[in-house]
Amino acid sequence: MKLFMVVHHPELVLRYREFANIRDQAVRTGVVDLKKIKFLTPTTILPLSIMLRTERHLTLVPPPDPDVENYLWCMMRDHGYDALNKSTYLPVVGLSHDEEQSQPILKKVYGLAGDPGGKNAFRYLVGELVDNIYQHSIFENALIMAQQYKRNGDMHLCIIDDGITIAGSLRDSGMPLDDDQAIVDAIEGASSKKEKERGRGLGTTMSLTLKGYGGSMLVVSGHGAIYCDGDNQSRYRLSDMNKYEGTLISMKMPLTVEEVDLYEHTSL
């Protein structure tokens, strides 16, 4: 079982480890030190946002590059995004505890220019991520963020909550599992709900991301993490330093202009 100890990690894993290292230092010193940060993506920014929202005693030392610092503040201000403005990013946006009130937030995500992979596939993917949080998590904070990187030809989409974790949800319904095994079981169709959910939740999201878009996906929940890229899957059992009390799901997808067949990659 991997422990995030090897040197060569995929980008999404490295970006999460970046946050874990920042958090570890902040716990010891009371300072969120970003002096070594040269580039930020949603996988680092979202858990950092929750930490700064909930641990208000922490002192933030911003990145030295003014462009990176400005980008960080722009993303984290939750400043009311205009969905009609066809932008290449969605800043950090908080989900309401009332699921009905999440619809305007979803429209903000849909406002990203291009609807990569087509409207149906992209909207289903985002909707499934948000639905999973409301169905399976008991959260205080839940955030979503997306960023297109036109130069690289890809997009990072990330959603996070500080709820009861995937394993916690399954344990509540009588399935006592280790955190990493719980993620695997959830991908394979295990659910904390007795009735069958639309699609297959996490498994549908992963199939659509990997096979439909040809992308990659990282799931971190409690002491467990799963990274998938194509036909490869890496499973991690995390140390206390690297764990996340909640669930983070991060995806990296090509900005494809080809239509992704939604029904080919879901169980609808």
pLDDT of residue 84 exceeding 50: no
Nearest to 177 by CA among 220, 223, 214: 223
First to last CA, the chain: 34
pLDDT of residue 3: 53
Average of per-residue pLDDT across 57-83: 83
Q: Name the pLDDT band for 78 (thresholds 50, 70, 90).
A: low
Phi and psi at residue 74, to the nearest 5°:
-60, -40
Q: How many CB atoms lie within 10 A of CB 15?
A: 23
How many domains would you assign to the chain?
A: 1
For 104-137, write each residue's pLDDT tens digit.
777 777 777 667 777 788 888 888 888 888 888 8
Most confident of 84-88, 136-140, 156-160, 203-207: 156-160
Give the percent of the chain with pLDDT over 90.
50
Stretch (H or E) spanning 262: none
pLDDT of residue 72: 94
Say yes or no to pLDDT of 172 above 90.
Answer: no
Expressed as residue numbers, the domain containing 148 is 11-264
Structure token pair of residue 146: 């997306």
Partner residues linked to 224 by β-bridges: 221, 237
Retrieve residue 249's tokens. Answer: 């799901």
In the structure, what pLDDT confidence band is assigned to residue 49 with cuts at 50, 70 and 90? very high
* Mean pLDDT across 58-76: 94
Whether 34 is covered by a domain: the verdict is yes
Q: Is residue 17 in a domain?
A: yes
pLDDT for 197 equals 43
The domain that holds 73 is classified in CATH as: 3.30.565.10
How crowded is the C-beta side of 74, counted as CA atoms within 13 Å? 12
List strand residue ranges (DSSP E) for the chain, in order: 31-33, 59-61, 89-94, 142-149, 154-161, 216-222, 224-229, 232-237, 244-254
pLDDT of residue 191: 54
Position 127 scores a pLDDT of 86
Contact of 214 with 157, CB cutoff 8 Å: no
Q: Is the pLDDT of residue 268 over 60?
A: no
Cα–Cα–Cα angle for 244, 91, 117, nearest 5°? 90
Q: Classify residue 6: in a domain, yes or no.
A: no
Is the pLDDT confidence value at 81 over 50?
Answer: no
Q: Is residue 160 part of a domain?
A: yes
Mean pLDDT of 129-148: 89
Token couple for 68 = 């990176």
Residues paired with 253 in a beta bridge: 155
Would residue 109 count as lying in a domain? yes
> 227, 252 in Cβ contact below 8 A?
no
Residue 2: inside a domain, yes or no? no
Looking only at the bridges linking them, the beta strands covering 89-94 and 216-222 are unpaired
Confidence check: pLDDT of 195 > 50: no
Q: What percent of the chain has pLDDT over 70?
A: 86
- Averaged over 49-68, what is the pLDDT? 95
CA distance 39 to 246: 24
Q: Is residue 192 part of a domain?
A: yes
* Stretch 166-172: mean pLDDT: 85
pLDDT at 97 over 70: yes
Look up residue 85 and give its amino acid: N
Q: Does residue 1 fall inside a structural domain?
A: no
pLDDT at 7 over 70: no
